[in-house]
Structure 1
């Protein structure tokens, strides 16, 4: 990967040293896999601990006495009520209820620490500044590194470097220091496994990553296995499974909207697209599509943009993500179908190169999540 127009993360030289195959992703040169390959990396993460470079993602700090109320005005999510060092999943919406981006945020007491998707980060920053820039201070920290250490042995490896992280539970965080560098660690990730995300200065990223890779449980993992892991976990990829034309209700993300922000809650509404989203929630506005999990009944991978048809040949939707799940050991997918075809167990067809592949609507996740909830 020698394209000079691509940005490089602080770990670029380390990826090359480790033999990574680099690809363009979100404007960066990113490792898609290492010499052992996607399947080995996927299974190692499920079995032990995989280290992912996610430094392409955007990190923001929102501060000031009105920061929580201001940020809450942009999302159908409870920001004001989030406890200190607690983390939550959020959804930035446009005026039609479409998802501008999905994100993670932590109340650190002195500020809100927000992590947004790499491909969206500059647009997100401009949107947030335009909407609430007069109400709080917004600091873009796009130069910081971000690592994800995922898998059942992640805690064993990380606590050797950062004692105390073993006390965290899923969706909580803590400040830490390592060799003089200020870190912030959350017990979270996007693989369905127990694990951590670590924000740290770019100058410390190489040495800290090498220290992690020196642990016997840890191997480097690229974007390919990150994608297969998150799909098996039933987690959306922005730009594939959710986008600016998709509402949270269509995307089956009702769980991400706390009761207090929904119909009848004391802080219900007041976010962009609230008229659409709340009407879909209470049923006064009918859905035309819904995100579902899908399993192919033949061993044929069914990938994004494949048309979905009813058994009588009518188009009813489209696949948004799909592959042969390495741990599920069967073809799994996500897609949107008309609501009358969204019930678990519904049979339908995916049209793969002109052939009808039988599929069944299935519950997600496809592989059980193993978050550490204490």
Structure 2
């Protein structure tokens, strides 16, 4: 958000307006929420063909220099030196209590060159945090102004190649710099195969139009992006993970190498080791409401005896799953699949079952 309180505008705003987008505020930006196709069809189109998302609200940081890897290994529970060229890794900025300041993807582009992709809502906090850490190392942190587009779905690779950017050699969680000042990775936020591509503003419109020229491609808004990521069991920072939630409770310890859990010198390491030793105090779980009534974020959860037992952090309808889907935190004793929980929805208690995550199968291209 600007100093005057106005929302930031996407560089490709004119394209979205021409496509009939309905806009709304998100993380300080005016973002397309839906297009004339509608949320349900946008969601299903992404699963069946290829959905194009404007994610220019997200922030990219280029970290370079002889100390770049060491700086990132201090800032994150990450062994940057162990990343091979072009490998991407999901990781976090943690606070001293091991709470999740933000979740990130770090890609090694060269011996002393890394790309960090961070969430829009935390961009200013992340920049300040990363620069403060980097000040103790021989490296430079450069925030990049780029148009950032995600193409997701089974047709994504063919569409991307037809548009003149052949990324078929990439496998899931790998990234490259295919052109000067461009960055591309095989990753996404939908559970589908796909790519995220950042480019200078002046080259973005032509590239977006080349993608949209393919009949397999439709613009997809934030509403469908949210239902897609929820079905895929992917966390939204600020809801499912926050600075008050650690990776142990969030079920995200798979992202932290075992050796680092034991000996890592990253920020929050001591608190994380204590949390590991204690064990989770609550667990993030999938939740399937009975019937067709979605249960939304913020709804309180109760056990069978009426005792408060947590809260829903994300919820809605899953068009591909065919039923309402949600995620939330519950006591460990209620975290096993099939456990019966109740959510308070407009004064009524809606029964839910704990459901395995994800709700729909991931279809990443792993090789």
TM over 0.5: yes
Tell whether 2:334 aligns with 1:341: yes
Root-mean-square deviation (CA), in Å? 1.4
Segment of structure 1 superposing worse, 90-99 or 199-208: 199-208
Q: Are the equivalent residues in 2 in contact too, given 1:24–1:30 (CA < 8 A)?
A: yes
Contact 1:193 1:370 (C-alpha < 8 Å) held by counterparts: yes
Equivalence for 1:128: 130
Q: Is the 8 A contact 1:52 1:222 kept in 2?
A: yes
Equivalent position SS for 2:36: coil
* Residue equivalent to 2:324: 331
Does the 8 A contact of 2:313 with 2:327 survive in 1? Answer: yes
Say which is worse superposed, 182-191 or 320-329, in terms of deviation: 182-191
Offset of residue 4 of structure 1: 7.9
Aligned to 2:209: 210
Aligned runs of 1:111-126 on 2, under 5 Å?
Answer: 111-126=113-128
Separation in 1 of the partners of 2:99 and 2:136? Answer: 24
Cα offset for 1:287? 2.8
1:6-38 Cα distance to aligned partner (Å, 9 max, x none):
111111111111110011111111100101111
Over residues 197-227 of structure 1, what are the superposed CA-to-partner deviations in whole Å (9 max), with x where a residue is unaligned? 0010011111111111001211100101100
Q: For 2:212 and 2:5, locate their aligned partners in 1 and report how far apart those are by CA, in whole Å.
A: 28
Pick one of 267, 272, 275 that aligns with 2:267.
272
Residues 37-56 of structure 1 mapped to structure 2, 5 A cutoff: 37-56=38-57
The aligned residue for residue 194 of structure 1 is 193
Work out whether 1:310 is the aligned partner of 2:303: yes
The yes-or-no answer on 1:358 pairing with 2:355 is no
**For the structure 1 residues 4 and 129, does the alpha-carbon distance in structure 2 shift closer, same or farther, using more than 3 Å as the test?**
closer
Aligned-pair CA distance for 1:75:
1.5
Contact 2:76 2:91 in 1 (8 A): yes
Alpha-carbon distance in 1 for matches of 2:210, 2:132: 41
Corresponding residue for 1:10? 11
What are the ranges of 5 or more consecutive residues in structure 2 without an aligned counterpart? none
Q: Are the aligned partners of 1:171 and 1:187 in contact in 2 as well (CA < 8 Å)? A: yes
Conservation of the 8 A alpha-carbon contact between 1:94 and 1:100: yes
Are the equivalent residues in 1 in contact too, given 2:67–2:139 (CA < 8 A)?
A: no
**1: distance between equivalents of 2:150 and 2:258?**
30
Q: Secondary structure at the match of 1:323?
A: strand
2:167 to 156, 165, 168: 165
Tell me, yes or no, if structure 1 residue 22 matches structure 2 residue 23: yes
Give the unaligned 5+ runs of structure 1. none
Distance 1:158 1:365 in 2: 27
Name the structure 1 match of 2:363.
370
Task: Give the count of matched residue pairs.
Answer: 363
Query: How many angstroms apart in 1 are the aligned matches of 2:131 and 2:188?
Result: 26
* CA deviation vs aligned residue, 1:133-165 (integer Å, no higher than 9, x gap): 231433333411111000000001001123531
Post-superposition CA distance 1:317-336 (Å, at most 9, x none): 00000001111111110000
CA distance in 1, matches of 2:328, 2:288: 11
Matched residue SS, 1:228: helix
Per the alignment, residue 285 of structure 2 pairs with 292
Q: How big is the shift at 1:106?
A: 0.5
